[in-house]
Structure 1
């Protein structure tokens, strides 16, 4: 047995671990210092760095980018049977787990000869600005076009069914800083649209929905759309109006040029829809 001398603490052996209070104090101090450093870096980054993620861009910043993207798609679709679709605003999406936002979605529907969907997507991809990095790849559901229009605005194109392609421009969920009242304006139907409705024996409404986009050269492209009621429709009644300028002729869809505009009749689904559009190229 070891002797214990007066005035000295007994030696600590393996069964007596050293005190831990000092180590715990150092650990706590280090954790607090690291938290302060991270908070400071976050404060500095928020005030000096450029936004690098989508949720830092507002919906108001995305609106002109979306408008430009739709106009460029319209210009690339010259010569085809197309019509812009009504804009959609999805509110209440989650920007973060703690804040809600808004998503804007715009689109263009195109009719092509069956089997021509992949060629159309490739043609459009080649016509878009190089900075968009547009490309077409083969996905599980068919060919898919994807492009980056800038400001985190996504452009997609895909075949929705044989002979039909839809292009979509999406903002993703963003902080809301603008109101979208009057997003879908109305106007009296153009004469070409009125004539098509009358030829099909459908009533002519006083107002039609209108969608507008800015062309690359500064002009405006627009589409007027009307729902012409349910029930079967013989689209061959439109042939006298086409005057030989037929773009698409199938039992369910008929499209033709009328002056500088384009008339599209779509009898798929439970409603007959007609659209009259003017593009970016006369």
Structure 2
């Protein structure tokens, strides 16, 4: 065989315990220094390319799991979805929207804590029509929500399930007679500071003061919740609680305020009416009354 492709066998002397030595005669023997440097350079370039691709993907590629988006990202999606759900619920009166409710301490993984963000909308729907109201909302939601209607359990009440985007889930349920509750849920994800919550302005006390006065309740500092509407403007809820002996029938005390309004709910301890785009609901609970005024999307 050719000298550059064969191995030379050196035989050990007779009586020796030494194994025969094989001497490689392949061309070049060990790898040349120039080739080693070239292989090292290729390896370094390859590793740097992988690192650069990973960094670009982290900054530019869309997230593929909820844990890649923190609570601040979810808050933007949730706020937008509140307005879109309210618009899809038209013409059902919106009794209230909630502010952000953040729950700490959920588990992203066994070793990592996170936080959960929820907001709710409560709609008035006559009890026989509440299930159909969920179906109507599903039909009017933007297609990207991919809404479905089905019972949570066999034989159970119908529920709405949808995807608001950004790994934010929507659930619609019939929790109370004559009410539909829509809940937006961020799922457990990394905690992050949220924008400052809406604060009362000069118009808010006036939204609830006449009702409190009609009930004989003292003025109360209101709390507010707000979300942007799809076509501009905002949906806004003003809530005030005050201590007073609620009348046996709320309708009797509030009749002077509802002459030009449409009564939505008329129960002894729960009364609601609508005037234009504003819905006012009142609940009596022992020595406390709650007044909620919601102005829907224009």
- State if a TM-score over 0.5 links the two structures: yes
Question: Shift in Å at residue 64 of structure 1?
Answer: 1.3
Note closer, same or farther for the CA distance 1:255–1:42 as it changes in structure 2 (3 Å cut). farther
Note closer, same or farther for the CA distance 1:96–1:184 as it changes in structure 2 (3 Å cut). farther
**TM-score, structure 1 as length reference:** 0.76
Partner of 1:241: 257
Aligned partners of 1:230 and 1:184: how far apart in 2? 27
Long gaps (5+) in structure 1:
1-6, 8-39
Deviations along 1:194-235, one digit per CA (max 9) or x if unpaired, are 111111111111x20000000001211100011233754321
Aligned residues: 243
1:118 pairs with 2:131: yes
Note closer, same or farther for the CA distance 1:219–1:269 as it changes in structure 2 (3 Å cut). farther
The answer to whether the 8 A contact 1:230-1:271 is kept is yes
Aligned partners of 2:109 and 2:132: how far apart in 1? 39
Question: Shift in Å at residue 85 of structure 1?
Answer: 2.2
Note closer, same or farther for the CA distance 1:271–1:145 as it changes in structure 2 (3 Å cut). farther
RCO greater where, 1 or 2, for CA within 8 Å and sep 6 or more?
Answer: 1
The answer to whether the 8 A contact 1:187-1:209 is kept is no
What's the C-alpha RMSD, in Å, of the aligned pairs?
Answer: 2.7
1:128 pairs with 2:141: yes
Note closer, same or farther for the CA distance 1:137–1:268 as it changes in structure 2 (3 Å cut). farther
The 3-state SS of whatever aligns with 2:216 is coil
Q: How does 1:72-87 map to 2 (within 5 A)?
A: 72-81=84-93, 82-87=95-100
Partner of 1:217: 231
Larger radius of gyration: 2
Aligned partners of 2:260 and 2:200: how far apart in 1? 30
The 3-state SS of whatever aligns with 2:218 is coil
Long gaps (5+) in structure 2:
1-15, 17-48
**TM-score, structure 2 as length reference:** 0.72
Could you tell which deviates more after superposition, 262-271 or 158-167? Answer: 262-271
1:261 pairs with 2:278: yes
The answer to whether the 8 A contact 1:186-1:209 is kept is yes
Aligned partners of 1:252 and 1:115: how far apart in 2? 21
The answer to whether the 8 A contact 1:101-1:174 is kept is yes
The answer to whether the 8 A contact 2:222-2:238 is kept is yes
Aligned partners of 1:42 and 1:173: how far apart in 2? 29
Deviations along 1:112-148, one digit per CA (max 9) or x if unpaired, are 2222220111111111101101121122341111110
The answer to whether the 8 A contact 2:277-2:297 is kept is no
Note closer, same or farther for the CA distance 1:94–1:104 as it changes in structure 2 (3 Å cut). same
Runs of 4+ with >6 A deviation: 40-44
Aligned partners of 2:287 and 2:112: how far apart in 1? 38
1:149 pairs with 2:161: no
